[in-house]
Amino acid sequence: MDQGLGSLTLQAVADAASVTKGGLLHHFPSKQALIEAVFQDLLQKLDDQIDRSMNEDDSERGGFTRAYIDAFFEVASEGAESPWAALSISCMTDPHLRTLWSDWMQKRIERHAETDDYPDLKIARYAADGIWLANLTETNGLSPKELGALRAQLKNLTK
């Protein structure tokens, strides 16, 4: 992640994990398989984080959207250091990662259709995505104060 997915090698991962390249290949037969496994792991962590946030939310309408906004603003505060950074940029060019993301999002939307399938909530989720991407691609990113204000404004849209 430090040098981008384009420069990722299985040998570098094996070295960082203190395993042999053969041992790594036993679990991940290719670089793509490793990247997809990391992406799936991040999606599971995102699922868990969203579910925890939803359980703490007092209002059903928009609960998924508020949790989604919170999750992505937390990632945005990590900036380029987040594992999501390289993987998200790769989603734009890697059709398989894009499909994994799209399938994840579609399942969550279907799961929360009764409470979150409204145009205003969709706009709030898309805005959160755009803010996150802008923060990632801008040289210095947004300040914590700016991120906090945008997060609060988006969450107000969900009520």
Dihedral sign for Cα atoms in the order 60, 64, 68, 71: positive
Ramachandran region, residue 55 (left: φ > 0; alpha: ψ -120 to 50; beta: rest): alpha
**Would you say residue 143 has pLDDT above 90?**
no
**Would you say residue 79 has pLDDT above 80?**
no
SS3 52: helix
User: Hunting for tokens 């969709």 — which residue is that?
Assistant: 122
Q: In which element (H, E) is residue 78 found?
A: helix 63-78
- Mean pLDDT (the chain) is 88
Q: What is the per-residue pLDDT across 19-38, written as a single tens digit (0 to 9) for each?
A: 989 988 889 999 889 988 98
**Is 65 buried (19+), middle (13-18) or exposed (0-12) by CB count in 10 A?**
buried
Q: What is the DSSP letter of 152?
A: H
Q: Are 35 and 97 in contact (CB under 8 A)?
A: yes
